[in-house]
Amino acid sequence: MMTGNEYKESLRKIHPRIYYMGEKIDCVVDHPMIKPHVNSAAMTYDLACDPMYENLMTATSHLTGKKVNRFTHIHQSIEDLVNKVKMMRMIAQKTGTCFQRCVGFDAMNATFITTYNMDKKYGTNYHERFKKWMTYVQENDLMIAGAMTDVKGNRSLKPSKQADPDLFTHVVEKREDGVIICGAKAHMTGMANSHEMLILPTTNLLDGDQDYAIACAVPVDAEGITHIFGRQTNDQRRLQGDLDTGNSEYAIVGGETLTVLDHVFVPWDRVFMCGEVDFAQDYVARFAAYHRQNYGGCKVGNSDVLIGATSMIAKMNGTRKNSLIKDKLTEMIHLAETMYCCSLACSYEGVKEEAGSYYVNTLLANEVKLNCTRNMYEISRLAHDIAGGFIATLPHEWDLNNPETGKWIEKFFVGNEEYTARDRIKIARLLENMSGGTALAESMHGAGSPQAMKVMILRESNVEQKEQFAMDLAHVKL
């Protein structure tokens, strides 16, 4: 397993083509816009090497029998599913942000099951290919970006019906030694500082969509790949200092890219699906359930930080002992712990698949994320309510550091005299950046938008059985 520093050094050895603000980035480790995201991901490596967190951060590989970083592990028990959630909450408490490895983690676990099922039906050898690649990932402790979301174009049309065929990632050529793919993947969390990407379909596919049923592993610096790093709320603050970013070491949310795949070659031993449209829907649903499971871990860990910041700002404002403030803080805790309960529930209700790995309860996993799309907004609203309007009008940190203006800021931004104005501003900036803009949009649409969860909840809830319960009690026979 790698340490955080070893992870950073490994990124210096690869050379992805990444652009930001019209310029090519030479090294993500040193670039001020991406460096905090690298730091956050590095935490997943350092904690795995810390004996205090070994139980949560590591597991024993069923492929090699060796100890591996849990982010490269295929779940082998209910305990693995539960420890995943607890691990994510713990890391989020330490970083206050996204640490980016969960998307690839979930894609690998979904692929393990799907390749087994495809091989069983069609006699293909995808599963053995995938296990060989997984062994490589574990042995080298690689960070894998889960590349699921296509840009989608006209949402009313299936992939093969789009005006531009590249709006969904697809195979454009099959060769004796591999395939050539074209397309793009959007909102790629952690892609800029990953080693490889695991590409999988983004939607249910029908007959005629065979070229779009592609799953494969590709290095992030493979020929034909261009990454365009996306903007985030207040991102330019990172170039102007540390205080106004709120969380200068780890930033807010994971860094995302638009990843363009322009005639990228993939050898057959890295192809794990090619044309099996009948498995696309199940593949997507499994990935989505694994990923939605996470949100009661990572988002609750982030909420722990936000609740702490809100409580501190109330102390600094001199309002912490007010019963109304206590009631609102209690509501924030209730909303967070409700999400955590859902994540634990879908994990404890998980099942062993025929492939040998463990899978979460699909219904409850979708409940996790649907709650998150609402609860994170309410937690943030309550944080704003308690903090007060000054979080939206604070002066620039350069003015705080300017002797001519800093003395007035230090004087007039004091609340409770037990705390300095500078410390009050630091906590306020953390709260501001964690509770708005990109962070909220990610809580809404990350791992799927609300309607996607509602579709799965209705599909999984067995309404017909509930109807029968009612008819039995009412003595209705049809």
Query: What pLDDT score does 393 carry?
Result: 97
Active-site pick, 189, 202, 310, 373 = 189
Query: What pLDDT score does 433 carry?
Result: 96
Active-site pick, 44, 72, 75, 102 = 102
Active site residue 283: no
d(CA 350, CA 167): 35
- Mean pLDDT score, 54-59: 97
In terms of Cβ atoms closer than 10 Å to its own Cβ (0-12, 13-18, 19+), residue 445 is middle
Torsion of Cα atoms, 306 then 308 then 314 then 315, to 10°:
-150
Active-site pick, 250, 283, 295, 359 = 295
d(CA 283, CA 262): 24
Chain mean pLDDT for the chain: 97
Neighbours of 215 (CB within 10 A): 28
- Mean pLDDT score, 434-454: 95
Query: What pLDDT score does 138 carry?
Result: 98
SS3 461: coil
Active-site pick, 116, 227, 256, 274 = 256
User: How confident is the model over 348-402, as pLDDT tens digits?
Assistant: 999 999 999 999 999 999 999 999 999 999 999 999 999 999 999 999 999 999 9
Annotate 326-342 with b (16+ C-beta within 10 A) or e (fewer): eebbeebeebbebbbbb
What percent helix, strand, coil does the chain show, rounded to 5? 55, 15, 30
Residues in the chain: 478
d(CA 209, CA 457): 26
User: How confident is the model over 199-211, as pLDDT tens digits?
Assistant: 999 999 999 999 9
Active site residue 189: yes
Percent of the chain beyond pLDDT 90? Answer: 100
Neighbours of 66 (CB within 10 A): 11
User: How confident is the model over 201-255, as pLDDT tens digits?
Assistant: 999 999 999 999 999 999 999 999 999 999 999 999 999 999 999 999 999 889 9
Percent of the chain beyond pLDDT 70? Answer: 100
Contacts with 432 (C-beta within 8 Å, 6 or more apart), sequence order: 246, 391, 392, 394
Query: What pLDDT score does 238 carry?
Result: 93
Query: What pLDDT score does 362 carry?
Result: 98
Query: What pLDDT score does 171 carry?
Result: 98
Query: What pLDDT score does 248 carry?
Result: 96
Phi then psi for 436, rounded to 5 degrees?
Answer: -150, 180
Picking from 136, 73, 78, 127, the residue whose alpha carbon sits closest to that of residue 102 is 73
Active site residue 291: yes
SS3 386: helix
Active site residue 98: yes
β-strands 271-274, 351-352 pairing: unpaired
Helix (H) or strand (E) holding 259: strand 257-267
User: How confident is the model over 87-103, as pLDDT tens digits?
Assistant: 999 999 999 999 999 99
Contacts with 393 (C-beta within 8 Å, 6 or more apart), sequence order: none
User: How confident is the model over 407-418, as pLDDT tens digits?
Assistant: 999 999 999 999
Query: What pLDDT score does 89 carry?
Result: 98
